[in-house]
Structure formats: structure tokens, C-alpha cells
Structure 1
Amino acid sequence: MQLQSVIQQHLSQIVADRRYLHQHPELSHQEVNTAAYIAAQLREMGLSPRTGVGGNGVVAVIEGKAPGKCVALRADFDALPIAEATGLPFSSENEGVCHACGHDMHTAGLLGAARVLCDLRSEFSGCVKLVFQPAEEDVLDSGAVKMIADGVLENPKVDAMFGQHIWPYYPVGKVAIRDGAMMASSDRFHITIRGKASHGSAPESGIDAIAAAAQVISALQTIVSRRVSPLDSAVVTIGTIHGGARYNVIADTVKLEGTCRNLNPEVRNKMEERIRAIVEGVCGGMGASGELEYFRGYSPTVNSHELFPFALETIREVVGEENAVIPESSALGGEDFSFYCERVPSIFFWTGILSPGAEVYPLHNGGLNPDEKALPIAIEVMTRCALKFLAGEK
């Protein structure tokens, strides 16, 4: 079996899929046309996709030559509310929306893996479940959670699951994987600070919510620097601040939004309490009041310790030992693949997409422009993992 040659037979269609998806991005929970495109492609392969799974999710099963285990492969397909700045001839046609996180690459890759596995179905026993997931970008209304609730891991029951994310910090040809945590938990919080309005010339007559907010923001940074061990990774970030109505009025209300990331569940469980203590304490000391709303989002994405040697060996078979990267640290970005990891043995890896000499554009940047040469690499890793697992090599 020459996987690379089978992939090459489908490569022009794989690239066409990616460019269509890139040109027609849709936001979380709005991916109706994207889901329809995926389902149509699967039907052309002779599959019978189930649509509307957990919202706009699409699931299909490729049956092998005989009964056996079930392995799932997952890709996400929602886009972001970011204007594209790549200048590509197939740039987004949906103004203000683009695939700045590479989900078009993920989905085209899984469609490619499906085409390859359909060609090879007479060579494996068991089945491969294809999981095309919406709404990965909605931390508070995750597509993974909804698909799991809708039974995606059952009928047939999934024995192992594999997923990947493009990674703009590695060149094409590199694939990265860690034993244990790959990515962090992703929680979100809102802070409302209330003071008392007064004329800007008489601050003593009011309670300045902006001044209180400034002290709260500074104090929150001490959680990571003084309340979390230097051996643990954590981030507390304030992303938005809104307050005040006029230049000469002491603001009576300020609203802050932020995110909290970490890898250690014990640290995560203490963050809400620590943020609340600072918000209420600092505001109270300045005569204001502070209110915290804390929302638990994604769990840490943790690779199966048992599957890790198998996955690493497979990656090395595809890209060579020198290109199989074991990062020194996890990333503090979040991924709702984490919810699959909590339920079945799972592996999540990063695929390098940086072209030689190209500028690095991070994820969630409108200039992100993955090198399509990464597609056959990701497809081969996913496909080899599936076939070897079903063959009992793990």
C-alpha cells in the first residue's frame, strides 16, 4: 500500500476543496452552506453522511472489509469574524469573515483522508468515523460538546480519535506532538465595576470606576506572577475595556472582558476565586463595587499517554525522525478537541504550514496563508494513524 501515491491521485480535488472552503467562510453556528458542501462531497464518495449533528455537524462512516474497531478522525470548519488580508485569488467572499485559524485546511484534509480511505476500504477491518465539527471557535457554546451530546462517539462506539491543527510557527514538513497536554483550558470572564458619576472637575464628589478598573487590571497580573507556581503555565488577559460617556465626567461604570488559560486543573479550579477576590477587594477599597461573571470554557487538550508512542512513531514514518517535533512546552491556546480527549483515547498534533522564507502570521490573523503543501502531510499522518490502529498495531 503506497499511501502517498493514493493521496497524490486526489490532490487536485483536495486543493480545490480547500480553496472553495477558504473562499466561502461561515461563522460559528452559521455554517449551513459549508456543511452542505461537505455532505455533498461525502455523497460523491459513495458515503451516507448524517447531517445536523450537534448543530451543523456532519458525520460519515467508512466501513472496512470486516467488523472491527472504530477510529474517529475530526476536523472543524467554522471561520472567524476577521477581515482577510492575504490578497489570494480565492480570498473570502464573505466580508469581515475569513478562515484565520486554518479550519479550511483541516476540513479539506479530512475530506482528503476520506477519499483515500474509501479507496482503501478493502484493505482494513473495522470502520473510520469522519467527524466534521462546527463551532469550534465558540468557547461558551462548543460544537464538540454538542456533537458529543448528539451521540457522535457512539453507534458505532469510538475506540480512539485523532485530530490536528495547522501550526504557523513550524515550516511545512514538520509535525509536532506532545505526551500529555498539547493546549490549555480556555475560560472567559466579564467584570463590571460600578462607581458614582460626577463632574470631572470635582472627582471627590464621585467614585471613579475607570481608576478602580486600572487598579483591578494591574492587580490581576499578580495572580500569575505571585499566586501561581513558576513551574505551572497560566495567563490572565484583559481583552476589552469599555467605560465612560464624556471627557469631563467621572465614569460610573466600566466593563472588562478577559480570558484565563492554564494547563493544570488544580490551578484552573482556583482562578475564579482569585480573580473574584481581587475584583471585590480592590473595588471595595476604592469605594466602588465589582462583580465577576466567570464562564468555564474548554478543558486542556491532553493527548493519551498510551497512544503517544504509537502516534509519534507514525509521524516519524511520514516526515522522518528529524521533522517529528516534540515541543518543550504546550500552547496556551484552547481547543474543544479537549472534550473528545476526556471521553476516548485521543491524539492531537500540529502540522507545520509555513512556506520557506514567508512571514509568520499567527493564528487569528487576517494575513494567515497556509502553504497547501502541508495538506498531503496531514492527510498521510491521519490516514496512517487510522489504518495502523485498526490493524491492531496499537
Structure 2
Amino acid sequence: MKIADRDREQLIRWRRHLHQYPELSFKETNTSAFVSEALKRMPFLEISRPAPTAVMAVLRGRNPGKTLAIRADMDALPIEEKNTFEYRSSVPGVMHACGHDGHTAMLLTTAKLLSENKEKLSGEIRFIFQHAEETPPGGADELVNAGVMDGVDYVIGTHLWSPLETGKIGIVYGPMMAAPDTFKVTVIGKGGHAGLPHETIDSITAAAQTISSLQQIVSRATDASEQLVISVTQIAGGSADNVIPGSVEFGGTVRSFNEELRNQIPGKIEQIVKGVTDAHGASYKFDYTKGYRPVINEERTTRILHQTAAGLFGEDSVTLMKPVMVGEDFSAYQQKAPGCFFFTGAGNKKEGITFPHHHANFTIDEKALEIGVKMLTKAAEAFLSSDHE
């Protein structure tokens, strides 16, 4: 399925418009309206709003067949953009710093191309424009509960990926993205004068020893073959040089793939927190929140996407990647149907497009957008083909 110059130009215009007018999770009112209006100008699509700021379009082919869902996320991040190009964010403190503007533009273009070739297709395609991927509890579970995955045989999606050079397709068989859980600890001591520490219960000392000890869970209390990350990312306590504070708060994230191990971690963290605070005569509060499920790509679906990439761009274009410890609520769709999430390379070292995701200078190589569209349209043909019955 060829991409005409006008479609290529429209693809970039769509992405730049979305980049210029970003909206945060659960607030994608204008973004979803923009997507809905664009879809209405395409033939044969049945458009619905399964959530207030989400959109789904359904395309039914000439004959009955399998049902494929393709998902793109639409939300932005609370980051002040530092890029200076003309279409930089016009919304203070909000930025598309992860590539969701590109995901939405690619799926819009994919829907346009496939709808214009309806007569060549059998089966059904559901184009899911999802809200709130960045903010738990996320939008995916809400859409699944609304029925967008009912009767779906396969689900696919892609993420533009700046660490991967444009022209490369990143494929991961099996575990791909980790479950991103969070925790918060409050160490409660007894405040007092810093010159008289013996009259206090030092919450800072207890918190520091607790944080240091938490690293032993990964290095000494977990099988070395397991993938596990425990990172303390926040700490707050104290307000003056001469005062030992009465309490200190810290928190962070736990990343894992193994569900059994995942369920053990809260108990292991609390055991250490209790042991250290008890030793200091302090007390504590502990909260643990489970995030998204891990993204685990199904073997057969992944193989079809691997073959699609190799057929389009050559086997050398395919990079077999290791799992990454970031989280993604695409996993919610994989609970309902075999699915695969893949990376579309969007970095370009020669052009200085190297900033990581969630950075104030993040951007993508726009040449990656057409590559992503080609992958999605060709994959749709492959999954709906009788060759893959």
C-alpha cells in the first residue's frame, strides 16, 4: 500500500498540530475532537467515543474475517518544552515528550489508507485512539471495560523510540516492558535540636539506612536471573540546619516481569523498613501501589510483525531488542487477545535527535512516521490474510 506525497505531507502536518497543542492525561478534549473530525472525513469508518476523551473507528472489509485492533495513545506530559522549532508546544508546562503525537498521526494515516482500500480487505480493523497512557490507572483498562476488545483476535501497537535509529524496527519476543509499581515510606522519629541528637530519634539517619538496605533486595534477596529494579526517586525531610526533623518521606518505583516475584516485593520492602526503624526506635507508614501489568508479546503475533518488518525493509532493519524496564498500559489489551508491541526507531544522531523520552528537548525524526505507517498498514494486511488463519 503506497503512501502518496499528499498523505506523507498530511501525516507530518497532523503530528505537528498535535505537538503544538498537547493535553495531559484524562484532559485530551481537543485532541480527541481533532482525531474524531479527521476520521469523519475518511470513508467507511464507524466512529465511537468509548470514553470521554478517547476515540475508536471501525473499518469492516469486503468479506468477514479476523478482527485486528491497532492502538495509539494521545496524551502529553507535564514538562515545559525547551525546543525552539516553530511547532513547539503552545501550552505552558505541557509537552509531547514521549512521541504520542506521532503515534496518533501515524494511526490516523493508517486508518485513511486502509479505509480507502476497504475492498481489498477481509475482516475488521479497530483503530483505538487511547487517552491517558502516562498517568495510572491509565486509559487502557477503561477502554477494555467499555468493550473495545470484545471479539478481537489480535492487537498491535508501536512506540516511536529515540534510542533506536530511524529505519530500524525493534522487536522483542516475550517480556518487553516491565510492571511499574510505586511505593512511599514515611519514617517517623522524634524531632529536636541538631546539637543534641541523643534527645531525638533521628528520622534522617533511619531513612538513609533504610534506603541503602533496600538495594539488598535486588542484589542479595532475589535470584540474579530475575529482572528487577528498585529505585528510590524522591526524598523529603528537614527544614533547617539546626533541626533534626520528626519525619522523613521517601518513595520510588519497582520494575519487574515475574508476577510471583512482583507480589513478594511489597513484603520484602516493608520487612526492611520495619527492621531498620525498629532498630532506631522509630515507626513508619508504608504504601505500595501496583501499576500497569508487564507488556509480554505473544510469540506468533510477534513473529508476524517481525516478518512484516523484514519484508518491507529487509532483515537488517530488524533489531531484536532486550526488554526495557519502562511501563506501558498496552498490556491491558494483551489480557484480551494475543498482542505485540514494537518499537519504531525515531532517533537520528547526525541531526542531533538523541534526547531521551520525557526530556524537555525530546523530539523525533519525522522520517520515522512514514516507516511506522508502512508497518501498521502492511501488518494489518498480514493479520487479516487467510495465510495467518
Same fold (TM over 0.5): yes
- Alpha-carbon offset, residue 150 of structure 1: 1.1
TM-score normalized by structure 2?
0.97
Instruction: Give, as a single letter, the amino acid of the residue that structure 2 aligns with 1:49.
Output: I
Please name the residue that 2:325 is paired with.
332
**Could you tell me which of 95, 98, 121 is aligned with 2:95?**
98
Separation in structure 2 between the aligned mates of residue 209 and residue 54 of structure 1, nearest angstrom? 45
**Could you tell me which of 342, 349, 352 is aligned with 2:342?**
349
Distance 1:348 1:38, change over 3 A: same
**Could you tell me which of 106, 109, 114 is aligned with 2:106?**
109
1:71 and 2:68 correspond: yes
Please name the residue that 1:50 is paired with.
48
| 8 Å Cα contact 2:348-2:354 kept in structure 1 | no
Please name the residue that 1:85 is paired with.
82
Please name the residue that 1:148 is paired with.
144
1:200 and 2:209 correspond: no
Distance 1:79 1:209, change over 3 A: same
Distance 1:7 1:107, change over 3 A: farther
SS in 2 for 1:138: coil
| 8 Å Cα contact 2:69-2:125 kept in structure 1 | yes
Q: Superposition pairs for residues 204-219 of structure 1, below 5 Å?
A: 204-219=198-213
After superposition, what is the alpha-carbon deviation per residue over 1:248-295, rounded to whole angstroms, capped at 9, x for unaligned? Answer: 111111111211001222221111111111111111111111221111
Instruction: Give, as a single letter, the amino acid of the residue that structure 1 aligns with 2:90.
Output: E
| 8 Å Cα contact 1:196-1:252 kept in structure 2 | yes
Please name the residue that 1:13 is paired with.
10
Separation in structure 2 between the aligned mates of residue 360 and residue 18 of structure 1, nearest angstrom? 19
- Alpha-carbon offset, residue 6 of structure 1: 3.1
Percent identity over paired residues: 39
**Could you tell me which of 120, 123, 148 is aligned with 1:123?**
120
- Alpha-carbon offset, residue 247 of structure 1: 2.2
Unaligned runs of 5+ in 2: none
1:176 and 2:170 correspond: yes
| 8 Å Cα contact 2:353-2:363 kept in structure 1 | no
Distance 1:7 1:75, change over 3 A: farther
- Alpha-carbon offset, residue 347 of structure 1: 0.8
| 8 Å Cα contact 2:353-2:364 kept in structure 1 | no
Instruction: Give, as a single letter, the amino acid of the residue that structure 1 aligns with 2:77.
Output: L
Instruction: Give, as a single letter, the amino acid of the residue that structure 1 aligns with 2:314.
Output: G
- Runs of 4+ in structure 1 deviating by more than 6 angstroms, as ranges, are none
| 8 Å Cα contact 1:318-1:377 kept in structure 2 | no
Instruction: Give, as a single letter, the amino acid of the residue that structure 2 aligns with 1:25.
Output: P
Distance 1:390 1:8, change over 3 A: farther
Q: Superposition pairs for residues 215-254 of structure 1, below 5 Å?
A: 215-254=209-248
Distance 1:220 1:344, change over 3 A: same
- Alpha-carbon offset, residue 356 of structure 1: 4.1
| 8 Å Cα contact 1:7-1:116 kept in structure 2 | no
Instruction: Give, as a single letter, the amino acid of the residue that structure 2 aligns with 1:105.
Output: G
Unaligned runs of 5+ in 1: none
| 8 Å Cα contact 1:54-1:148 kept in structure 2 | no
Separation in structure 1 between the aligned mates of residue 25 and residue 185 of structure 2, nearest angstrom? 25
| 8 Å Cα contact 2:46-2:59 kept in structure 1 | no
| 8 Å Cα contact 1:55-1:147 kept in structure 2 | no
Separation in structure 2 between the aligned mates of residue 57 and residue 228 of structure 1, nearest angstrom? 40
Separation in structure 2 between the aligned mates of residue 202 and residue 92 of structure 1, nearest angstrom? 52
TM-score normalized by structure 1?
0.95
Instruction: Give, as a single letter, the amino acid of the residue that structure 1 aligns with 2:133.
Output: E
**Could you tell me which of 244, 253, 260 is aligned with 2:254?**
260
Question: Number of matched residues?
Answer: 386
Separation in structure 2 between the aligned mates of residue 202 and residue 289 of structure 1, nearest angstrom? 20
- Alpha-carbon offset, residue 105 of structure 1: 0.7
